Structure 1
């Protein structure tokens, strides 16, 4: 990858090289997670970029002998890719379940979502859920260890600050903290998502895209979950069983927490299925605006 970057930097502007480097790193990481070796993943990722980039095509042509000498993929590659996809889903599911459990752990210490525990959840909800999203992104993006340590430090510092500071119940400082802490932690996730290229403009734009598509995907999951929860409550009410407490105190909070990670998995791991959601929504909105005008 270093040879390609040096070659491309001599022939293209820095911004484009940064964007292509981010794409190359992400594609390589995803292919490795799917079961390919490092050399195979890099070769496939380079060939994908070469379809749209002249410098990369020339780089491959000039280094064809080296690429041909690389080990060829075995006949079991499709099985390896399928196994990698299963492993990716398993990691996302594990992180989602952990987030769901973490949301209910404060119950062991007497904190409930309503009543006296509402203040605790107001300040700590993002600290209970987002670390597991960070863990999934760290697994998917493979950032350097120092980045993961720095991000973990931000989460720990945030947890100490919001739980040690003597907030006045309902005060403006408490409200501002509850609003801005999730924003700070979400921006910190951008460091994990950007991995080694987190300082580049391309990485920031990619995280902006991820944020938008994650929001849309999460909203769709939430709407679907709300409909299913309503149907479930209605069905059990029809036979004389009340499930409102279980749904409101367990199903909805745990589902909402787990969906944070699952939405990220859908955006990152299944981009071919939901990658067009944001553009599609934009087109629908523009058409409505034009009709209204």
Structure 2
């Protein structure tokens, strides 16, 4: 394997069943496309089935499209039921989908949109699908974090998780991505006694995608000014996810990101997240709150 891990290092994926959330666009699409081209059977779990079918038509390989709105727990449960009916197993679940910097919105279940979609939706989906992963040797859950969840000023606002008192869209996004990381680490601790499935995290650095479309005009202007200096194309941004998903040397609990300065761009390697993401007491508190809010108990 090359020192600078790249798409050419991905092993043959024939026989693997993969579920990718948010697979109709951006990094999710690239993830689904590359894994399907390597031989995997890929389920593209998307909120807009029409767009999902258009995306699937652009992929050479075995793909199916699954309706999934992560902002609705009813949709998450319905998708899980369908996948149980259609799939004998899952080798790889990639929690990729997410909303970035929207104005204040509330999900159907009463959650702040970014926390409800990025964290709670994926928490519930993983818990409902885990029984399809646990019997499968080498199975993995890969959860997408973000460098936005690293700064020490980002915390889990346990006293105001839904941002009822005030709303800062960038801070709320940071909280949701910190929650993703804490979930990935807490899940690995719970999986270790089972010895088959592992939980891994990854982040793309600064990738040039449509993710900033919901940001304020001022934020987009700043990003568009700085992005050419620090960002990388989707083909590079997707590599940390693909390495976490396919590299035989990956160990549960690891976090993959770009190897360049600031983890903005570069080839994927093991990185560290912010100190707050490793706080086991906060991980377990978040886990308990997430179980309470989603009414999903993991089969562990």
TM-score by length of 2: 0.27
Higher share in helix: 1
Q: TM-score, normalised by structure 1?
A: 0.28
Structure with more of its chain in strand, by fraction: 2
Higher RCO (C-alpha under 8 Å, 6+ residues apart): 1
